[in-house]
Structure 1
């Protein structure tokens, strides 16, 4: 299996795959119960044949932004029609970073509802649309955030009995530069972090717009990113990550999907 990307899943129920980072033609999901293929633009959606092949023996799901052309249940849905029958969906509003201005302007609520009607087994991504996602029903697919533990506990205390899945970037390191190289770009796309970066200044006093988000980040922007990594990712030594995983499970998380931000072989430990 030389040259094949494989995944160690210790402590996790599933793995997230980013087509821009992992060659899906050279991925083995042997022993992986659940996998989610992230959406990073229409040109990055894997072929139907490859998706069907990856789904053999694995609960494979594809993130499908309901506002994006090709996945819009109230408009152009030609990419949905190409999904193999053995591949599930995660219906999401869609990160603005991967949507055109026209796509971003489309109403979310009716599209999530229509997508769930067509795909009753779909998971529903909750980022920024938590109430709409709950109304749509199905497995609630949360991105790990600083408030995740509190919100999951509140849902369970209120009597919510549905399935809750959480997507969590994972990096087993305490090195600041390693963390920024692996996770800086990811956390910078979260809404609250982007807003903080917009007002931050680096060590030279320059505006943060366009500033580096990797290990070269400096000053206030670097502090913002490192603080965000603590809340939006599972990062640190193995024992710290194990403790956070245990907290998530105790709070009521049913499915924990890990995104191996440093590469496919370093999710487990």
Structure 2
């Protein structure tokens, strides 16, 4: 494991790995004890040996979409033995699901999966009320309302773990931010509605589109110098977040190199 990484100053608790984008063999170099392997479709899902290597000496969590074949607690759950480590239960990104999988009901599957894996994190994206009803640790996406919402949950007596997922870009260069997470920010509802039609969302964005995106990116991603991100993480934890997991939106090199 390398030391003196940007991750140290950024104070992230864990790293989200996307098999389609990240070389999982490099995870051993990351200065973090928590890894979360995201699901990006069966064709790139790591095999049992790869997951076992990641789990060696680490807290490994594996995202499992409860509607997908192989992870369906009410149907085909044949891939579950591969998932060494704890699970992150999600409805599943429709981009990685077949038409039939998208039609499956989320609520009963989340409930059944929670019975099988009571310590699993429950992803809230798009199914916030269902996730809360399922109970257990909640896995939230960073948004402009996260701090307020977490404070409200804690004030109402919610005592379970709250984990947070956010893209991370450890630079304050505007073009680099737009290239890394401009498209991601543009898909968030309020940003999508504010953008001009057919506007570029990367470094090619100009005028109104560039203004909207540069204003919105810090609402949905952890960006800036490692120290700036570290201050943001501390602020979120002061509000009641327990664990912050960052997705290296510019690849692993950007979080490994100082």
> Scaled by the length of structure 2, what TM-score is found?
0.88
Deviates more, 1:67-76 or 1:160-169: 67-76
Matched residue, 1:121: 119
| Structure 2: segments with no counterpart, 5+ residues | none
The answer for the alignment partner of 2:249 in structure 1 is 261
The answer to whether residue 49 in structure 2 is matched with residue 52 in structure 1 is no
| CA separation of 1:78 and 1:220: change in aligned 2, threshold 3 A | farther
Deviates further, 235-244 or 125-134: 235-244
> How many residues are aligned here?
254
Question: What is the DSSP-based 3-state SS (H/G/I as helix, E as strand, rest coil) of the residue aligned with 1:28?
Answer: helix
Aligned to 1:167, what secondary structure does the other structure show? strand
Q: Report the structure, 1 or 2, having the larger helix content.
A: 2
Equivalent residues in 2 for 1:246-257, closer than 5 Å: 246-257=234-245
3-state SS, counterpart of residue 27 of structure 1? helix
Change beyond 3 A, Cα 1:50–1:179? same
Unaligned runs of 5+ in 1: 202-206
CA distance in 1, matches of 2:51, 2:236: 30
CA distance in 1, matches of 2:151, 2:162: 11
Task: Tell me by how many angstroms 1:8 deviates.
Answer: 5.0
Aligned residue number for residue 165 of structure 2 = 167
The 8 Å contact of residues 51 and 82 in structure 2, kept in 1 or not, is answered as no
SS in 2 for 1:61: strand
Aligned to 2:37: 37
Residue 174 and residue 29 in structure 1: after superposition, are their counterparts in 2 closer, same or farther (change >3 A)? closer
C-alpha change, 1:238 and 1:33, in structure 2 (3 Å) is closer
Q: Residue 205 of structure 2: which of 217, 229, 240 is its match?
A: 217
Matches within 5 A, 1:1-269: 9-10=7-8, 11-28=11-28, 31-84=31-84, 87-193=85-191, 195-196=192-193, 200-201=195-196, 207-208=197-198, 212-267=200-255
**Do the aligned partners of 2:7 and 2:226 also contact (CA within 8 Å) in 1?**
no
Question: Contact 1:7–1:29 (CA<8 Å) still a contact in 2?
Answer: no
Which segment drifts farther, 258-267 or 178-187? Answer: 258-267
Question: C-alpha root-mean-square deviation of aligned residues, in Å?
Answer: 2.4
CA distance in 2, matches of 1:75, 1:264: 35
* Partner Cα distance (1:155, 1:242) in 2: 23
TM-score (normalizing by structure 1): 0.85
In structure 1, how many angstroms separate the alpha carbons of the residues matched to 2:32 and 2:189?
31
Change (3 A) 1:244 1:51: same
